[in-house]
């Protein structure tokens, strides 16, 4: 560009993407394997000819690898279109298949809409649904579970990592309580923000159903899986050709499944080192942002109670939407709470449940990282907050 006789080179603004809990950019290696399946190995995995056999190898290989990451059997992996389908299949399927054993279902007050809204629907079907309280960090109050669970309880659902504030829920302790109080209950865990981020073994946690979504770990949207523990009673949502052991009929989405496997391989390569690196970034970022006047962080405080990749930040006196767009102007992308509810006007049930002060309910944004996030990016984001928050606060009407 020229101004008079002077030439000025315009540099493109570098984007800093800190909304990885909403979705991630598909990794180039994921795209590469999906393109190969779409263009070359495009057979139907149910077909008997070599194209079908090759497609079936992708599905089988993905199930074997994912099962290995969880230390379970490949037969216990059912591929889905993502987290919403996984949660819906698990909850509707378990509730309807086990109704003869009781009519009571328990969950927490801080679940993702793909769980909480299913619970509302099951309530309309006549199930007795109890939503249990959490503490100020968003962790389930296990004494409330102990009081609520009984022999009529047939299903319990608790997310492992909260999608808005990053709190790690006490799943192990909750399951131990439940097994004593409700021996017939099926346990479902929404692990969509946990898989590939923190250690996770369904058998050690003694859970029956576990949902995962591929696009949270550099895989494609429309991919995911549901772990179904052997002998778990589950009624399918989809009926048809009987694929995937009659639990999820329909021709398998082989490109997405192949991409999901590659994403899992990337996530679990040097997983411990990736996790430690994320925690170091998180610790430093939290230290930086909480040094700003009127800025606080929600959720777990320790590595045992907080996931490494999600930081919920409240900025007193600055509305979340205003701050989000101000950061966007600087090429920094974050969420106002959960991306799944960011277009809605209602206040986050999670922020309400942890007792966040009323004036902060609409003044909270979420920063979420990945193993590709750099220290320099987070320093830039913290510096932007340090500049923007005081400035924006001056123009806020009270």
Return the domain boundaries, the chain.
Answer: 28-268, 271-393
- Identify the three-state secondary structure at position 212: strand
Give the whole-number percent of the chain exceeding pLDDT 90: 89
- Which of 36-45, 98-107, 387-396 bottoms out in mean pLDDT, i.e. has the lowest? 387-396
- Write down the pLDDT at residue 11: 53
pTM over 0.75: yes
Residue by residue, what is the 3-state secondary structure of 12-32? Answer: CCCCEECECCCCCCCCHHHHH
Average pLDDT over residues 380-388: 97
Q: What are phi and psi of 285, to 5 degrees?
A: -65, -45
- Which of 43-57, 175-189, 268-282, 369-383 bottoms out in mean pLDDT, i.e. has the lowest? 43-57
Alpha carbon distance 389, 365 (integer Å): 12
The 10s digit of each residue's pLDDT in 5-35 is: 444 444 567 899 999 999 999 999 999 999 9
Longest dimension (CA), the chain: 83
Residue 224 has pLDDT above 90, yes or no: yes
Average pLDDT over residues 88-111: 97
- Yes or no: say if 133 and 194 are a contact pair by the CB < 8 Å rule: no
- Yes or no: say if 255 and 34 are a contact pair by the CB < 8 Å rule: yes
Nearest to 23 by CA among 211, 215, 164: 215
Tell me whether residue 360 is exposed, middle or buried, using C-beta atoms within 10 angstroms of its C-beta: 0 to 12, 13 to 18, 19 or more. middle
Alpha carbon distance 378, 91 (integer Å): 38
The 10s digit of each residue's pLDDT in 124-162 is: 999 999 999 999 999 999 999 999 999 999 999 999 999
- Write down the pLDDT at residue 347: 80
Residue 107 has pLDDT above 90, yes or no: yes
Nearest to 210 by CA among 190, 237, 236, 235: 190
Query: What is the average pLDDT value for the chain, to the nearest integer?
Result: 93
Q: Which residues pair with 108 in a beta bridge?
A: 132
Q: What are phi and psi of 228, to 5 degrees?
A: -125, 105
Instruction: Give domain 271-393's CATH number out of 3.90.1150.10, 3.20.10.10, 3.30.70.2860, 3.40.50.450.
Output: 3.90.1150.10
Alpha-helical (H) ranges within the chain are 28-39, 50-70, 83-97, 113-124, 142-148, 171-181, 202-205, 254-268, 271-289, 320-329, 349-353, 375-393
Is the backbone of residue 355 left (phi > 0), alpha (psi -120 to 50) or beta? left
- Identify the three-state secondary structure at position 77: strand
> Does 308 participate in catalysis according to the annotation?
no
Average pLDDT over residues 159-173: 98
Please pick, among 340, 347, 360, 392, the residue that the annotation labels catalytic. Answer: 340
Just give the CATH number of 28-268.
Answer: 3.40.640.10
- Yes or no: say if 311 and 368 are a contact pair by the CB < 8 Å rule: yes
- Identify the three-state secondary structure at position 316: coil
Find tokens 């009081």 and name the residue. 147
């Amino acid at each position: 560009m020229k101004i008079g006789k002077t030439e000025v080179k315009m540099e493109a603004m570098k984007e800093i993407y800190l909304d990885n809990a909403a979705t991630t950019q598909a990794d180039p290696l994921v795209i590469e394997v999906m393109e190969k399946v779409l263009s070359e190995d495009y057979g139907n995995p149910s077909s008997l000819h070599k194209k079908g056999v090759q497609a079936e190898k992708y599905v089988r290989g993905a199930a074997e690898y994912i099962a290995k990451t969880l230390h379970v059997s490949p037969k216990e992996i059912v591929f889905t279109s993502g987290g919403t389908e996984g949660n819906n299949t698990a909850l509707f399927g378990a509730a309807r298949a086990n109704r003869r054993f009781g009519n009571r279902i328990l969950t927490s007050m801080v679940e993702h809409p793909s769980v909480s809204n299913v619970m509302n629907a099951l309530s309309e079907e006549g199930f007795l649904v109890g939503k249990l309280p959490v503490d100020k960090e968003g962790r389930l109050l296990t004494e409330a579970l102990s009081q609520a669970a009984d022999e009529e309880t047939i299903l319990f659902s608790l997310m492992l990592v909260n999608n808005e504030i990053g709190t790690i829920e006490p799943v192990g302790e909750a399951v131990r309580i439940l097994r004593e109080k409700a021996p017939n209950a099926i346990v479902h865990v929404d692990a969509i923000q946990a898989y590939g981020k923190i250690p996770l073994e369904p058998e050690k946690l003694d859970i029956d159903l576990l949902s995962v979504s591929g696009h949270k770990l550099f895989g494609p949207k429309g991919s995911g899986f549901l772990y179904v523990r052997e002998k778990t009673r589950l009624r399918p949502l989809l009926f048809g050709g009987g694929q995937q052991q009659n639990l999820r009929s329909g021709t398998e989405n082989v490109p997405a499944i192949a991409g999901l496997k590659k994403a899992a391989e990337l996530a679990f390569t040097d997983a411990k080192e990736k996790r430690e690196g994320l925690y170091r970034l998180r610790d430093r970022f939290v230290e930086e942002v909480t040094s700003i006047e009127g800025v606080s962080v929600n959720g777990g405080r320790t590595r045992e109670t907080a996931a490494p990749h999600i930081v919920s930040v409240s900025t007193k006196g600055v509305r979340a939407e205003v701050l989000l767009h101000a950061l966007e102007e600087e090429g920094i992308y974050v969420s106002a709470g959960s991306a799944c509810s960011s277009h809605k006007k209602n206040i986050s049930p999670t922020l309400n449940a942890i007792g966040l002060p009323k004036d902060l309910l609409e003044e909270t944004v979420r920063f979420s990282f990945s193993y590709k996030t750099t220290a320099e990016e987070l320093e830039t984001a913290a510096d932007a907050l340090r500049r923007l928050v005081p400035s924006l606060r001056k123009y806020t009407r009270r």
